[in-house]
Chains A and B, each alone.
Chain A
Amino acid sequence: MGLLGKLTALPVRVGEKIGLLEPEVLPLPPGARPPRHTFRWDLDKTYLRTEFDSLADLAKSAIETAADKQAYPGATALLRALRQDEHRICIVSGSPTQMRQVLAAKLALDGVEYDEFVLKNNLKNILKGRFRSLRAQIPYKLPAMLRSRIAAAAQHETLFGDDAEADAIIYCLYADLVAGNVSLGDLERVLTASRAYDDDAERCLALAREVPRGEAVRRMFIHLDRRSPPMGFRRFGPRLVPVYNYFQAALVLYEDHVLTARQVIFVALEMLDSKQYELGHLATSVQDVIRRGRITRETALQLAAEANEAAKSGALSGRRDLPPFEQIAEAFRERVRELGTGHVPDEPSLEPLDYVRLVDEEHEHRHRRRRQGMG
């Protein structure tokens, strides 16, 4: 780069450094093959154990170093597994752009590679006096996801979020928009209900017009960080699965033929290594997803058989802390048998979603929580 180029790039680099400018999402180079599968992840409360219910929590989160930050057990192993086969990892987080360095360092420490990493430019929002945007989720995340898909449209997409904010609504809206199930008129009404600024709404509508269509979003996971009752997510349909931990997400992805039994084992091992889970917890997690109808008993039994083969071929080698795999598999089978045969899970709703109502309810819920002093 010549001197002139360096001088021109300087304000951009300074802007990025202070978080005022965000690196652009670049389209795929000409001739590059589009990704087969894109996995979109939120960070706080989805990948990272973050507390932001109070000002003290926010302050603590802001001064934490990369080494202080903790990923949820199993999340790192899952992200690494998903990165294989040239799949695309896109991170869209509501954390401010000033956190980019520390968050990027944390992901690097965990050995997590990604293709995109979008953060929220709250400094710009403050400077422009757009205070509504500070808390707004839909007018920020939806355009970010649409922009990402326009840059590199995958045949399949899987989304990971949490129950702290409006991830379930945003992800379903994005999925339905991409599938062509939400009209631009409906989107406009949703953006109005979300209190989006007019120019933001216009930009979002323009992106929605441009986004490549298709039934791309196969699966959405909502990490139940707040331990919200899973029944509250029934209305979002069978494609959205609330999970208590990433072993459950791995089980569903195994049923979806996205992960192999060996990859599921690695997620389980990371959870056991965290010392926050024991084999019993994992077996109970299997029972929980079966009971909720999110995987079948047959899948669980097939996984046990395939995992046995994987264990024989060395997936558990050197793990003297664990009992023989046959014993582990039997404990898992026992949890399935414990359910008896009469249990029929509630079917998730197949009704189309009324997004304007969902957004209004979410606003009301958030206000109620704030009044109760819960953030």
Chain B
Amino acid sequence: MRAMHRIVVDAMGGDHAPDEVVRGAAEASLVLTNAEIILVGDAAVLGRLLPRMRHDGARVRVHHAPTFVEMDEKPAEALAAKPEASIAVAADLVARGEGDALVSAGNTGASVLACARRWTLLQGVRRAALAAVYPTELRRGEKDDPFSLILDVGATIDATAEDLVGFAVMGSAYAKLVSQNRRPRVALLSNGTEAGKGPASVIEANARLVETTELNFIGNIEGLDIPRGVADVVVTSGFVGNVVLKMLEGVSETVVRLARYAHKERLAWRLGLVALSSAIDQLKEVTDWQQYGGAPLLGFTHPFIKAHGRSNARAVQNAVKVAHKALAGNLCGNIARTMAELDERAQRRLEA
């Protein structure tokens, strides 16, 4: 029997929690035969929901947590006021070694904070990074994945050159495993493609990454290269990453609003949109974040997959599968090993 992976799921986090979260986890229990799923939340509520769903009763268990953090609560205040919130209890379980990975569709800030306070960073990693996926023109990896990975998008505000190198290693390891991309193209986000452009941290990180053989570093890229899909892993500081991500989301929403406006305003525009509808549907399918599952918080000794707040059962099921994949592929071990190799080379260089 293969090693059993214990995946802790914050059952109360998310816009459609607990129903859709429990349903997604229940469905995951039917396909992941060497996983145990631990649903954390109000045992009375979860105990009523589970028997209504198809699942494997030997592979899904409930761990009681009396409260939870609402989606719009301030993370630090909420965690201080609710020490027994589901996300805190879930992160605790993993920290105590009673779970191997965590999945949550709940309040992002509270989830990251709960993990950061309880979990340890991997050896060689100075700061954790929250990654996000963004649909691009190009496909990548064996899975023809249309998503590129951007990190950090907000786990840390500022990042040194060393942190950026760490993010590059973590992002590459994740893309290798989840997108089945053997040599993901890694790039630094800057205000020009030249190696000498950008803030000091980016210039220094560029110099270090150029020397690595472990990564497929393609140099610097600009903002407009992100949707083009020039890089599979885009590395930046949390501050810049968050601004970029929000801007990209804003642009997408504006396009949708404009299309709705066009649909209402003129018959010719409406006909044009109808003619394009199958292509739009195809595009929607390609860029469907629900099939991607979630974005990881990288750098800790355990994987944490942050599913979208609006996740339905399918998205949660996929997030659980991603967590399982991260465990089965020893994501954290791979990151630690690459970090150790980089560290060793840096030491040798210093000694030389």
Binding site for B on A (CB under 8 A): 224, 226-231, 234, 244-245, 248, 275-278, 280-285, 287-289, 291-292, 335, 338-340, 342-346
Contact = CB atoms under 8 A, between A and B. Distances in A.
Contact of B58 (A231, A281, A338, A343): A281
B36 interface: yes
A284 B51 contact: no
B6 to A, nearest CB: 8
Contacts of A342: 42-44, 64, 66
A280 B47 contact: no
Contacts of A227: 30, 54-56
Interface residues of B, number: 26
Contacts of B54: 226-229
Given A287-B62, A343-B64, A280 B36 contact: yes
Contacts of A343: 43-44, 47, 64
Nearest to B42: A342
B48 interface: yes
A338 B61 contact: yes
Interface of B: 1, 4, 6, 30, 36, 42-44, 47-48, 50-64, 66
B64 A244 contact: no
B327 to A, nearest CB: 15
B66 A288 contact: no
B60 A284 contact: yes
Contacts of A338: 43, 61-64
24 contacts: A224-B57, A227-B30, A227-B56, A245-B58, A275-B1, A281-B59, A282-B58, A283-B61, A284-B36, A284-B58, A284-B59, A285-B57, A285-B58, A288-B60, A288-B61, A291-B43, A291-B62, A338-B43, A339-B43, A342-B66, A343-B43, A343-B44, A344-B44, A345-B47
Contacts of A230: 51, 57
Contacts of B51: 229-231, 234, 292, 346
Contacts of B56: 227, 244
Nearest to B48: A346
Contacts of B61: 283-284, 287-288, 335, 338
A234 B63 CA distance: 24
A214 to B, nearest CB: 31
B9 to A, nearest CB: 14
Contacts of A280: 4, 6, 36
Given A229-B55, A339-B62, 20 more contacts: A224-B57, A227-B56, A229-B52, A230-B51, A244-B58, A276-B1, A278-B4, A280-B4, A280-B36, A281-B58, A284-B57, A287-B62, A292-B47, A338-B62, A339-B43, A340-B43, A342-B42, A343-B43, A343-B47, A345-B47
A338 B38 CA distance: 10
A231 B48 CA distance: 9
A121 to B, nearest CB: 34
A292 B55 CA distance: 14
A231 B50 CA distance: 9
Nearest to B2: A275
A244 B29 CA distance: 13
A291 B47 contact: yes
Nearest to A345: B47
Nearest to B55: A227
A224 B59 CA distance: 14
A288 B52 CA distance: 13
A280 B53 CA distance: 21
